[in-house]
Amino acid sequence: FVCAQQELLCCKSLSKNFLFQLLGLSIATLSTVTHYGLHFTLISNISLESNSYRVIHHAAFYFGICLSMTLILAALLSSAATVRESQCLTAMGFFCFALVFCGLIPAACWRYMHSTEVEDSMMDVYDLVYEEVRRNTSSFRRHELTAIHEAFLCCGKHSPFGDTTNVEHETCPPGQEGDAEQDCLREIHDFLKKHMDFVSTLLGVTIGFMVYGMILTSFLWFSIHFSSNLDRKGRYVLR
């Protein structure tokens, strides 16, 4: 019975470890896209002393990469432990799953307790660049503002009176000048909402899989342990 149970757990572990690796690759891909995506790099590369988004930008990338590498390592250790029936490798896999879980919980809490911090920091950067260009049209910030407008397909900040300034005339993409539906603050909000919704979904799915991974490796460890004590490790007799 113990051997049959162990074999069943091994099959489940091998199939689920492939999903854990895909999940780790998904996190790495999302972190890379967020770090090197045009919309994010434009805001991060703006050289302002009060550019608080730059810190969030780099921290999110390194955290995501470390998290994905740890998750992939956990899946590989769990697979090796299943094949070799090693208690040591199983324990190491459990530790990596637990490490990822402990990293995800603070990330999820920060996401929901500071849900608007990323959006506010990006909007603050845009406001500072916009106002600096408005005060000094010869400023080199005009090129940065033009690049932001082209990336987000938006056109300045519109007042409730519907009037535009020379900033819009000089930096907006063709055909979007004066279009109230293309307000940059609104476009930044909509873009980040979609992105952060996807991040939240991935966080929730990953946390659920980490709980499952810890439970699975725990049962696998006990199964290998009891099988070893019964001196039936790797032995299957057909009667």
- pTM of the predicted structure, to 2 decimals: 0.81
- Do residues 100 and 207 lie in contact, with contact meaning Cβ atoms separated by under 8 Å? no
Confidence at residue 9, expressed as pLDDT on a 0 to 100 scale? 52
CA distances from 194 to 120, 187, 188, 239 (A): 15, 11, 10, 59
Arithmetic mean of pLDDT, 160-165: 51
The pLDDT value recorded for residue 123 is 92
User: Does residue 49 carry a pLDDT above 80?
Assistant: no
What confidence score (pLDDT) does residue 202 get?
A: 94
Residue 89 banded pLDDT, cuts 50, 70, 90:
confident
* Mean pLDDT along residues 85-104: 89
Residue 119 has pLDDT above 60, yes or no: yes
